[in-house]
Amino acid sequence: MIQVQPLEHTALRPTCDEDIAVFRRLTAGDRLERQTCRPIVDGKRMPLDARKQDFTFVVGDAPAGWVSLFNLNSRNQAAEFGYGLVKPMRGQGWGRHMLATAFDHFFATTDLNKLHCQTASFNTPSVRMLESLGLTRDGVLRAEHELDGELYDDFIYSLLRQEWLALRRSIPDAGLV
C-alpha cells in the first residue's frame, strides 16, 4: 500500500484562467519543445492533424480490407494506423500483404519516419502479423481494452522508416502471401 503523508495547505482544483497566467509567467523561458512532442507553430502547441486517410485493400475486384492513417504528427514525422481484414481473407497471409503494401505506400509518398498502432493482447493473429513485419512492441497499456465485461491489455507497436526499408529489401514480394 502506498502511504502519502497529507500536507497542510494542499489541494487539487480545476484549472482557471488565473492559474494559466501563473504557469505561463513561471515557465517563461522554458522551451516548448521540451514540454511536448506535438507540432509547434509560431511558438504555440498545435493539435495533431485530424485528417484521417482511409485506404481499401483490394484482391481481384473485391474489397478485402482497410488501412487508415490518422493522428499525423508533422513535428515527429509520425502517424498512427489501424487496419482490418474481412473474415473470409483472414488466416491466409492477406493481412500481412495488405500492411506491407500500405507501409510501402506510406513511406514512399510521405515524409513519415514512424508508423505506430495498438492491438489487443488477446488478438494473437494480429500480434504475430505485426511482429512478423518487423514492428517493435514499444509498450503495454494495461487494462485498456474492454471486451465482454473484461479488461485486457493493449500492445503498442511501431515501425521506423529505416527499419522497414532494410527489412523490405530482405522480403521478396512473393513471400508476403
Beta carbons within 8 Å of 38's beta carbon, 6+ residues apart: 45, 46, 47, 48, 73, 75
- DSSP, res 19: H
The reported pLDDT for the residue numbered 19 is 78
Paired residues of 114 in beta bridges: 78, 160
pLDDT at 63 over 60: yes
Beta carbons within 8 Å of 89's beta carbon, 6+ residues apart: 59, 64, 65, 95
Q: What is the pLDDT of residues 69-117, one digit of tens each?
A: 999 999 899 999 999 999 899 999 999 999 999 999 999 999 999 999 9
pTM of the full predicted structure?
0.81
Q: Does domain 53-176 have CATH number 3.40.630.30?
A: yes
pLDDT at 177 over 50: no
Give me the residue spans of the domains in the chain.
Answer: 53-176
